Amino acid sequence: MIPYRAPSWLPGGHVQTIYPLLIKPQSLAYRRERWDTPDGDFIDLDWNDSAREPDCAPTPLVVLFHGLEGSSNSHYALSLMGALKAIGWGGVVIHFRGCSGEANRLPRAYHSGDSAEVDWILRRLKREQTDRPLYAMGVSLGGNVLLKWLGECGSSANTLLDAAAAVSAPLDLSVCGYALGRGLNRIYTQYFLQTLKPGAAARLKRFPELFDGSRLGRVNSVYEFDDLVTGPLHGFAGADDYWQRSSCKPWLSEIRVPTLVLNARNDPFLPAQALPTPDQVTASVRLEFPQQGGHVGFVSGSFPGKLDWMPQRALRFFLRGI
């Protein structure tokens, strides 16, 4: 696998982060399935089914957990699912609650440390797809949740997954959160708040006692949103408590499933000094920190560029462990 190097026409971490949003990967005809959750809510799964002959060996299945406010139509989801389709593997995008285009039933939403949600999803998938090798990939927020779950489960996760990959995970949520509130990074904050705040307002309309609605209009940072909405809504005292208890970095030393952790050193969301060192992870974890790539960027090729490097990197790891 060729190491990642950003094309010369795509300079800087911010450009490498924003530019992929302008690239339109080929759309896919997903098959949607709805699952009821253990607490009476629901999630939607979008399947990218790969045809296989009845007598053929079971094809592997790759499960994708998306990033903050992402979906099966996010550029990285379409790129991964397209790559899986090309080699005849199956894929499924797990929509976190409220991210599939329909409001969830309960007041709660989703958050960076929701490893209990990942747990029941993967256990059900393993029961229903028992004859297939199962791989999981998490991107950004989804990567943090997946890594936290892997660490919490330790060696028992090997009974569910053959391997895992996390791309651009905000490994230390406090460092990431404060980074998003400074300088040019505030453009990402405003991008996320464009959907987070209306979603919270709609939830408040249905459940008027959730939080102080008069404060929502004044929210202008991820910290303020998490302190008002995400943290208290999911049982945390506020943003600081939420970020501390939900970060996956302390759990990397407990992971026993072969796992790729891929973060660019110029990711504007997570400063390079916050990246883990080899002594902070187990032998099961492969750390890969290219100098370039931005946040879930990794554009390759000549202009206008392609988004195939990242899915190919994950697939190589799943296939060969390298």
Q: In this structure, are residues 180 and 189 in contact, taking their beta carbons and an 8 Å threshold?
A: yes
User: How many other CB atoms are there within 10 angstroms of residue 210's CB atom?
Assistant: 17
* CA atoms of 216 and 77, how far apart (whole Å): 30
> Which of 72, 79, 295, 300 is an active site residue?
295
Q: In this structure, are residues 37 and 124 in contact, taking their beta carbons and an 8 Å threshold?
A: no
267 is catalytic: yes
Q: Record the tokens describing residue 216, joined without a space.
A: 């929502």
> Which of 114, 227, 267, 308 is an active site residue?
267
Residues 6+ apart with CB under 8 A from 306: 23, 299, 300
* CA atoms of 72 and 81, how far apart (whole Å): 9
> Which of 115, 140, 246, 284 is an active site residue?
140
Q: In this structure, are residues 248 and 151 in contact, taking their beta carbons and an 8 Å threshold?
A: yes
Reduced to 3 states (helix: H, G, I; strand: E, B; else coil), residue 192 is helix
Element (H, E) at 75: helix 75-87
Residues catalogued as catalytic:
140, 267, 295
